[in-house]
Homo-oligomer: A and B are copies of this chain.
Amino acid sequence: MSVDVAAEINFQDQLVVDQNAAAALFMEARTANSWTAEEISDETLKAVYSLTRMGPTAMNIQPLRITWVRSAEARERLVSHMAQGNKGKTLTAPVVAILSYDTQWHEMLSTTAPHAASKASTFADNDALRHSMAEKNAHIQAGYFILAARAAGLAAGPMTGFDTAGVDAEFNADKQCKAFMVVNLGRPNGVIDRERLHRLDSDVATATV
């Protein structure tokens, strides 16, 4: 994208993070379909989670669950449920994360939200509300996760093109967690598959009243 230099300087003046951070998380990061061969350490993945979990959720319910797919055997099982166009990417990514939401988050309220623990039985009785809160808040957390991965120097490739029931049968056999996104992760290799797609102008997507 062409950027007016004066406008860019003015933009940076509005931020409390430096240009490098704004670029790494938002402005220059790209969704990736291929990566360098570098392996991603458990320490890096732990850092991604340590950042992700700090973002706010309703009542602090934190429904997001992450399954890091490392073994060749688990990778094959996951790929078998991916849409055709996603199989190759998920086979070749250095590491893959399955993002799920825990529908039984109310069981942890005494830990996550002691002030609201007395409401646990009300939530226990309302499956629809509990599932809806889990799904919505885990999607908010998916936003944190993608930016956290970038903060740890990873290029993310989020996908929803997979058979969720199949992935749940393989990886969420406890039944209480539901997979909603698969994210390929690795170090950026600089390959640009296509120009960045258009972002909506502020006068299209925002209004002031």
Contact = CB atoms under 8 A, between A and B. Distances in A.
A200 B53 contact: yes
A70 B209 contact: yes
Interface string A158-183: 10100000000001000000001000
B205 A16 contact: no
Interface in A1-53: 10-11, 14-18, 20-22, 24-27, 29, 31, 42-47, 49-53
A149 to B, nearest CB: 11
A113 interface: yes
- How many chain A residues sit at the interface, stated as a range, is 35 or more
A136 interface: yes
Given A20-B17, A68-B208, A209-B67, A55 B43 contact: no
A143 B43 contact: no
B200 A50 contact: no
A21 B10 contact: no
A151 B21 contact: yes
Nearest to A73: B209
A142 B11 CA distance: 21
B148 A26 contact: yes
